[in-house]
């Protein structure tokens, strides 16, 4: 059996333990990452849900912002959920003044697009590459307002999932571009770990 992939979870803020448990359930070796030396030891990185402005400020304060950005630019696979989607986006609408992201995904996201905490909801969605619908949990979630020009065959963004009902019907909530992927929703909170399995397979294929 091949060695398990080693995937870090950025452990500055957000639902770190849930992502670690989900990754371990699909056979990955999952470790928290808080410093650059720990980042150097992993093959890929999960950027969890939480609060994107707090994550940006903490990454800067702990001297993690530039190391993560460099690893992504050098081709490290990464998956971001909710706030993690914002941190992987090249462009952010409704950002706070001066807010920066790691970037890498040629997308424009809108922060808190689905509303406040009280507007949180769950919805079954179809996810490209995964059999059977997922139960998606949205908590102060962003959505993808725009994707860049060019399709997956040209190195562009592939849309993996859209919301199908409610005021956000048709909005893009999961994307992939090469070895980077992101979801607006929180698969780590449902006990259904197929999205984490999808990412682990992506990391294995990138070896």
Of 95, 188, 86, 203, nearest to 134 by C-alpha is 188
146 is written with which tokens?
């725009």
Across the chain, the runs of DSSP E, i.e. the strands, are 6-10, 29-33, 44-47, 78-81, 89-93, 105-110, 121-125, 134-138, 143-147, 158-162, 172-177, 180-183
Element (H, E) at 178: none
Residue 143 β-bridge partners: 110
CA atoms within 13 A on the CB side of 82: 27
Indicate if 122 belongs to the active site: no
Contact 142, 109 (CB under 8 A): yes
Q: Which of 18, 19, 123, 186 is catalytic?
A: 186
**Exactly one of 18, 19, 123, 188 is catalytic; which is it?**
188
145 a catalytic residue? no
| Active-site entry in 18, 82, 123, 196 | 82
The tokens describing 203, both together, are 């990391």
Whether 82 is catalytic is yes
| Catalytic annotation, residues | 82, 186, 188
């Amino acid at each position: 059996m091949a060695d398990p992939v080693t995937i870090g979870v950025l452990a500055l803020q957000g639902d770190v333990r849930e992502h670690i448990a989900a990754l371990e359930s699909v056979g990955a070796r999952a470790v928290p990452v808080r410093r650059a030396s720990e980042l150097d030891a992993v093959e890929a990185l999960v950027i969890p849900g939480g609060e994107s402005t707090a994550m940006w400020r903490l990454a800067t304060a702990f001297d993690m912002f530039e190391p993560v950005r460099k690893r992504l630019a050098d081709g490290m696979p990464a998956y971001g959920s909710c706030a993690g989607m914002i941190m992987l986006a090249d462009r952010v609408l409704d950002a706070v003044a001066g807010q920066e992201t790691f970037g890498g995904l040629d997308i424009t996201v809108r922060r808190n697009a689905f509303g406040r905490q009280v507007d949180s909801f769950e919805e079954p969605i179809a996810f490209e590459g995964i059999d059977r619908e997922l139960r998606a949990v949205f908590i102060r979630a962003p959505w993808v307002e725009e994707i860049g020009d060019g399709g997956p065959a040209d190195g562009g963004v592939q849309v993996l999932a859209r919301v199908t009902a409610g005021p956000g019907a048709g909005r893009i909530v999961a994307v992939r571009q090469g070895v980077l992927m992101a979801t607006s929703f929180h698969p780590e909170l449902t006990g259904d770990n197929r999205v984490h399995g999808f990412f682990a397979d992506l990391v294995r294929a990138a070896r």
